[in-house]
Amino acid sequence: MSTAKTTFKPSRYLHPRYGLLWMGLGLMWLTAQLPYRLQMGLGSLLGWFMYRLVPARRRIAEINLELCFPELSAAERQHLLHRHFDSLGKGTIETAMAWWTPAWRLQRLQHIEGLPHLEAALQQGKGAILLSAHFTSLELGGRLLALHRPFHVMYREHRNPLFEAVMRSRREKNFERAHERQDIRHIIGSLKAGMPVWYAPDQDYGRRHSVFAPFFGKPAAMITATARFAKISGAPVVPFFQQRLEDGSGYALRILPALEGFPSGDDVADATRINEIIEEEIRRQPEQYLWVHRRFKTRPEGEARPYPKRKRRVRRKRVKT
């Protein structure tokens, strides 16, 4: 994969199968131009619909909350579930904001603390790994931090070619470089060039390159890439999180001091340490974490998955006439 920026060419995606997605992207662009309070109101409305229209994802979130917050009553978890879908709807609007809202409008929404921690880490000349997690405002949090300090991002390629092309082009506009998460050579190249690289490792990518580490007291598959990138490049790992503020004033951006003694050489210990940092942040803003992800999908040998099996679509063979 080349390090050169990609050029988005809409003419490549004029096939009718992209029609609905083009309409959705157009609505996202329009939403990004609205006043902030109206955007958040639309996000709440969208979350209300999502709660009712995606029962499979709602069930995943219910199971995750049962596993991670057994101390809460059923009524308390249900209230948290409703708040999560409200946050999920707002996160969809925030993705549009991250891609298309002008910087001068976003500037007044950010409240940053801890930027000197990142600057101190970068003085080592080996870049920095911005350790983050999948909160619903993740995309916008990155855009807000980029208003202060340029950095590169790692991401997972989307299956839809049009959405992938738009997402990549917007991220490269905002973050300079967007590396697919398996493009290790260029990720290391960014770090060795002294750039911060933004990475959220808290999703279940299966057994390969993963270890089991406790997450809210339950074993969860955790990819070991953070420690691997840090070992190869010598880059310090700097935790970075964002939080949507309840008073409607915008977002708190928190940069923590670089991790000391990381990596330790013990993959399980390193993964456990990362999970503890993320878990602490989740407890600060539990409704804003991405609970609709199958975080406990991969299980230790002999342990059953907690989620219902996906229904596979049966393709009907065409009968020639």
Per-block average pLDDT, block size 10, for the chain (321 residues)? 65 90 96 97 98 97 98 98 98 97 96 97 96 97 95 88 90 85 89 95 93 97 95 97 96 98 97 98 98 97 91 51 35
Q: Residue 312 has what pLDDT?
A: 64
* Per-domain boundaries in the chain: 17-288
Q: Look at residue 175 in the predicted model and tell me its pLDDT.
A: 85
pLDDT score of 6: 67
* Three-point CA angle 126, 128, 131, nearest 5°: 155
The number of helix segments (H) and strand segments (E) in the chain equals 11, 9
Provide the pLDDT for residue 5: 64
- pTM to 2 decimals? 0.91
75 burial level (CB within 10 Å; 0-12, 13-18, 19+): exposed
Helix (H, G, I), strand (E, B) or coil at 253: strand
Q: Long-range contacts of range 295-302, CB-CB < 8 Å, 24 or more positions apart?
A: 295/64, 295/202, 295/203, 295/204, 295/215, 295/220, 296/64, 296/67, 296/204, 296/215, 296/218, 296/220, 297/204, 297/221, 298/204, 298/206, 298/207, 298/210, 298/220, 298/221, 299/219, 300/212, 300/219
- pLDDT for 321: 35
3-class DSSP assignment, residue 54 = coil
Q: How far apart are CA 63 and CA 70, in angstroms?
A: 10
* Confidence (pLDDT) at 2: 40
